[in-house]
Amino acid sequence: MIRVWLLPAALVLCGALAASSLFLGDTSLPSPVIPVLFLLLAYVESPLVFPRPTGAAEARRRSEADGRPVIYWRPTCTYCLRLRLRLGRTARRAYWVDIWRDPEGAAVVRAANGGNETVPTVVVAGRPHTNPDPAWVRARLTAHPGGDVRDAA
């Protein structure tokens, strides 16, 4: 759990150092925008960007009931972040499983990817898709917003 917050904490610390440097009058930094950028980077790299994680068993059970995709991810994964940001508000319709918090979720990802924990792995209708195009995932989420979004492919 602590490793999830190491990078965001380091970014906040760097932003604080940059802010204190600006406050103390060191003019080697171009503007006060830099500390704000560090804070934004810390937020983006934190688990706060992602919807609340669900356990793998619960996500699978819910997905079987309503057909929504299950997205296996881990913090600090740039591909997961890209998927999350590109999905926008539709990301809340999927079930998100943090493989660093859920060993069962990590096992599902390893089984789908030949023993590797390659994320994001999106499971639609029981079929895993490793690092799919965000537009493809969005189409699965918006096909039937209130109901079944099962994949025929």
Q: What is the DSSP letter of 117?
A: -
pLDDT of residue 149: 45
pTM confidence score: 0.71
Cα of 14 vs its chain's centroid, Å: 23
pLDDT of residue 19: 73
Cα 76 to Cα 3, 13, 17, 73: the distances in Å are: 10, 17, 22, 9
pLDDT of residue 114: 94
pLDDT of residue 9: 81
Low-confidence ranges of the chain (pLDDT < 50): 147-153
pLDDT of residue 4: 66
pLDDT of residue 5: 76
What phi-psi label fits residue 76: left (phi over 0), alpha (psi between -120 and 50 degrees) or beta? left
Contacts (Cβ under 8 Å, ≥6 apart) of 147:
66, 67
pLDDT of residue 152: 41
